[in-house]
Amino acid sequence: MIINIQRFTEQEKPHWDRLEALLQRRERDGLARMELPDIVEFHALYERAAADLARLSTYSGERDIRQYLEALVARAYGEVHETRRHAVRFRPLHWLTTVLPCTFRRHIRAFWLAVAVTLVGCVLGSFSIGLDATAKDILMPFPHLRQDPSQRVADEETESDNRMEGRKARGAAWYVTHNTKVAITTMALGVTWGVGTIVLLFTNGVMLGAVCADYAIAGETPFMVGWLLPHGSVEIPAIVLAGQAGLILALALIGWGDAVPLRQRLRRSTRDLMTIMGGVAILLAWAGFIESFLSQYHEPTIPYWVKIAFGSIQLLLLCAYLALAGRKHEKAEAE
Amino acid sequence: MTQRRATLTIQTPEGIAFPLVLADPVVRFLALAIDRGCIYIASIVLSSALNLLGVISPDLAGATIMLAIFVLSIGYPIFLEWTWQGQTLGKRIMRLRVIDEDGLRLHFDQIVIRNLLRFVDALPAFYLVGGIASIVNARGQRLGDLAANTIVIRHPRILSPDLEQIAPPAYNSLRDYPHLVARLRQQLPPEGAHLALQAVLRRERFDDSARVELFAEIRTYLAELTPFPAESTESMSDEQYVRNVVDVVFRTEPSPSVTPLDLSKR
């Protein structure tokens, strides 16, 4: 086919410009809905540009026009052929009350697996300390955990009330950043077909079990529960949720009994991963605050029963939220 | 090891194919280094500004700085890739862009996941895991790209040929046959046109004998694609023939030369 390139360009340029303008508007405000006439026009312009590209594709001297059209068609292609659910404006309340708990329940098997791995680690850590008390030098990551529990309880119960004064906020920031890094790594290691995630969850479980057993054997159970429960009732579930996200990623990679191709499986899981990790970030921010402003204060400043009651109620509320929130929406969607 | 590809061709249902040039791991590393530098500088500026909070409470200032630097280091690539459609400052300088693996629109969740997986790609140091993954992978994807279904492409700077280096022929007899010129432009593949142009631009670099041989070969190739009447080309050297072809292919407008019609008017 022979074409007069000059006339062709003059004739088609206004259509390319219009397509470019629509694309720019779309890219600038991607969340805005397009009206039906705009959609019809956009599709017609895309097809026209694609046809122009086909006509030019073997036309040797017009490399610049061809490359311009390739870029234009590539951008429009991404918009026209996108079949994933359209990104809607983020509604924080809806996300918190519906999207997050529904996503959590949709992948409940991955969550139970993460819980099981953590519990196995806990049991092993407890047994290790029970059998050999010197194992805590290996099992416990922080130096203050390695000291004698009774000694620590005696020290902290006799210290002045304001021992955290002047470093509470920095402490909270450190807990938030450190725990968030651990959570992200736990999720990201799902890319190792879940092996890395399982190892991290198991290791966390071992450390937790070892600490609990160490204090229980020393007869300091009220101190230990009062110390760990206020922040642990949120922090530990958050790490397990990150493990759930890692296992979702791993399951998408492995694809057991799923005939859908790998890329589609991964595409399907990214939004759920982001949702769960969003929830993890919120939980860890709260846990960091509690750990610094409440958990580090013991009797006589705060009675243990108050801290234990606070942690227990918090845990119950978290369980109720994850188990019950958004049920109506789920039912409505099912119907 | 998978064979690494330089381009990824997207084929649309309309039968149109467009190539995407995949980014080289080395260029990606340079872009990353620029981004890390930006984060470092921004951290220093942010810390200095937030230090002023120390007047109210040193504890609060320390906590705010710690959180701000943490949010900055994680949020910088996410925020910029979202607002600049797949580019950070480093990527923009190195002319790179993150896009969906199938050429579709890049979603926010893809950006978040590819950036959170940096925690694994960066292990054990200097992005060793991510670097190895992107070298081994046929599409140059690090683990974060694999999980998020994204690729990083390069937009090479497209320079139009510098035709000023080629003096326009005083009279190009090929232009007397516009229908054949149009056919030649249609039949000559882009690679062939580029070859002819480069041969003319680099003529001084060839030995005399090599130059004669090269232009003879290119002329034969061009003449086979679109033969022009013998009376218009028989007295023309091979090099002049190629020059005239480059002139009609790359110059849309006729060169400001003296035409036979102009001569007759004089």
Flag whether residue A43 sits within 8 Å of chain B, measured between CB atoms: no
B238, B218 Cβ separation under 8 angstroms: yes
Mutate which of A66, A165, A270 to test chain B, going by most B C-beta atoms within 10 A? A270
Distance CA A109, CA A115 (A): 10
Decide if pLDDT at A82 tops 80.
no
pLDDT of residue B260: 39
CB-closest option in A71, A263, A277 to B101: A263
pLDDT of residue B264: 37
Which of 135-164 (A) contact B at CB < 8 A?
A: none
Higher-pLDDT residue of B78 and A71 is: B78
Share of chain A above pLDDT 70, in %: 90
Q: Rounded to an integer, what distance in angstroms lies between the CA atom of residue A63 and that of residue A331?
A: 56
Contacts of B157 in chain A (CB under 8 A): none
- B70 interaction partners in chain A (CB closer than 8 Å): 176-177, 180
* ipTM metric: 0.86
Tell me whether A25 touches chain B (CB under 8 Å). no
- Rounded to the nearest angstrom, the minimum Cα separation between B266 and chain A is 30
Cβ contact (<8 Å) for A59 and B186? yes
How close is the nearest chain B Cα to the Cα of A319, in Å? 26
- The per-residue pLDDT for B158 is 52
Instruction: Please list every residue in chain A whose beta carbon sits closer than 8 Å to the beta carbon of residue B60.
Output: 169
Among B62, B107, B118, select the one facing A87 at the smallest CB separation: B107
Give the model's pLDDT for residue B262: 41
Mean pLDDT by 10 residues, chain B (266 residues): 68 79 91 96 95 90 95 96 91 92 87 96 91 91 94 72 64 85 82 84 86 92 89 86 86 52 37
* pLDDT, position A125: 94
Q: Give the per-residue pLDDT at B45.
A: 96
Put simply, the answer to whether A177 touches B70 (Cβ < 8 Å) is yes
Query: What are A202-254's pLDDT values in tens digits?
Result: 999 999 999 999 999 999 999 999 999 999 999 999 999 999 999 999 999 99
> What are the residue boundaries of the structural domains of chain A, listed by start?
9-80, 92-334
**Chain B residue nearest residue A72, CA to CA:** B18
Contact list in A for residue B102 (CB cut-off 8 A) is: 263
A34 in contact with B at a CB cutoff of 8 Å? no
Looking at residue A292, what is its pLDDT? 87
User: Which segment of A111-120, A272-281, B46-55 scores lowest on mean pLDDT?
Assistant: B46-55
A–B CB contacts, 8 A cutoff, strictly below: 161
Task: List the end-to-end C-alpha distance of chain A, in Å, as a whole number.
Answer: 56
- Nearest-neighbour CA in chain A from B185: distance (Å): 6
Using CB atoms, which residue from A54, A187, A274 is nearest to B16?
A: A54
**What Å distances lie between residue A110 and A190, A191, A194, B101, CA to CA?**
11, 15, 11, 27
Q: In this structure, what is the dihedral angle of CA atoms B223, B227, B233, B239, given to the nearest 10 degrees? A: -20
Q: Is A176 on the interface with B (CB under 8 A)?
A: yes
pLDDT of residue B249: 81
A66 touching B (Cβ < 8 Å): yes
Q: What does the pLDDT read at residue B75?
A: 96
Q: Cα separation of B195 and B193, whole Å?
A: 5
Residues in B touching A184 (Cβ below 8 Å): 74, 116, 119
With a cut of 70, say whether residue A184 has pLDDT above it: yes
In this complex, the residue of B105, B119, B188 whose CB is nearest that of residue A60 is B188
Distance from CA of B132 to the nearest CA of A (A): 14
Q: Which residues pair with B22 in a beta bridge?
A: B153
Specify the 3-state DSSP secondary structure of B243: helix
* Cβ–Cβ contact A267 with B under 8 A: yes
What mean pLDDT comes out for the span A279-289? 96
A18 in contact with B, Cβ within 8 Å? no
* Closest to B122 (Cα-Cα) out of A310, A200, B183, B114: B114
Instruction: Give residues 231 to 250 of A whose Cβ lies within 8 Å of B.
Output: 249
Smallest CA–CA distance, residue A179 to chain B, in Å, is 12
Distance from the A173 Cα atom to the nearest Cα atom in chain B, whole angstroms: 5
Query: Hey, is the C-beta of A313 within 8 angstroms of any chain B C-beta?
Result: no
Contact A263 B102 (CB under 8 A): yes
Q: State residue B1's pLDDT score.
A: 46
The region of weakest confidence among A3-12, A26-35, A226-235, B157-166 is B157-166
Q: Which of A291-305, A316-330, B134-148, B214-228 has the lowest mean pLDDT?
A: A291-305
Nearest CA in chain B to A278: B112
What share of chain A has pLDDT > 90, as a percent? 53
Interchain CB distance below 8 Å, A270 and B66: no
Q: Give the bridge partners for B17, in sequence order.
A: B11
Comparing A108-112, A157-161, B97-101, B129-133, the range with the smallest average pLDDT is A157-161
Which residues of chain B does A249 touch, with a Cβ-Cβ cutoff of 8 Å? Answer: 147
Dihedral-angle region of residue B111 (phi above 0 means left; psi in -120 to 50 means alpha; beta otherwise): alpha
CA distance to partner chain B, nearest, from residue A154 (Å): 27
Chain A residues within 8 A of B189 when measuring between CB atoms: 58, 60
- Cα separation, A207 vs A220, in Å, equals 17
